[in-house]
Amino acid sequence: MSDSRDEYLRERLAERARREERRREERAPETVREGGLPEQIDAAVRKIVTAIVIAGALIGAGAWASGDEVEAPRYQVTTTPDGRIIRLNTDSGTVLACEGNQCGIVVRRGQDLEDAPPARALPAPAPEARPALPAPAVPKADNGAVPVPAAR
């Protein structure tokens, strides 16, 4: 009976040792079980790529959940060779033009466009430039010194 009992105990101990070994293998990191540098590098790259994919998915989900739609620009602006600035309001269809410090509505919503713009009036000619007057002469004292004005 002692032989069968000893054999029974040995078998139980062996079974317990196998279970412990399996538990250790399950708890051990994947890279340790696989072994070797190439396998460790491959596992590290897989983890990094997985982290990047998850981060991208979270960013995309956040952008989608925010619900803010990107609106088209409300204005379009251009300039002409003669220095005018023209602005188109894309919501209302109004066209504004500015020249110098003066701005005005060129076309309103629903208004028809003409084939050619109206002729521009020529600017008024500049007044004639008068020659500058010479500076007044300062009187000199008898000894050649310039007199000092009197104090108040």
User: How far apart (Å, rounded) are the C-alpha atoms in residues 32 and 50?
Assistant: 20
Contact 90, 83 (CB under 8 A): no
Residue 4: per-residue pLDDT: 80
Residue 57: per-residue pLDDT: 94
Mean pLDDT of 36-45: 89
Reported as a single tens digit per residue, the pLDDT across 47-94 is 999 999 999 999 998 888 877 676 777 888 888 888 888 888 888 888
Confidence of residue 152 (pLDDT cuts 50, 70, 90): low
Residue 136: per-residue pLDDT: 73
Exposed, middle or buried: residue 94 (CB in 10 Å: 0-12, 13-18, 19+)?
A: middle
Query: With 50 as the cut, is the pLDDT of residue 37 above it?
Result: yes
Reported as a single tens digit per residue, the pLDDT across 107-119 is 877 776 666 666 6
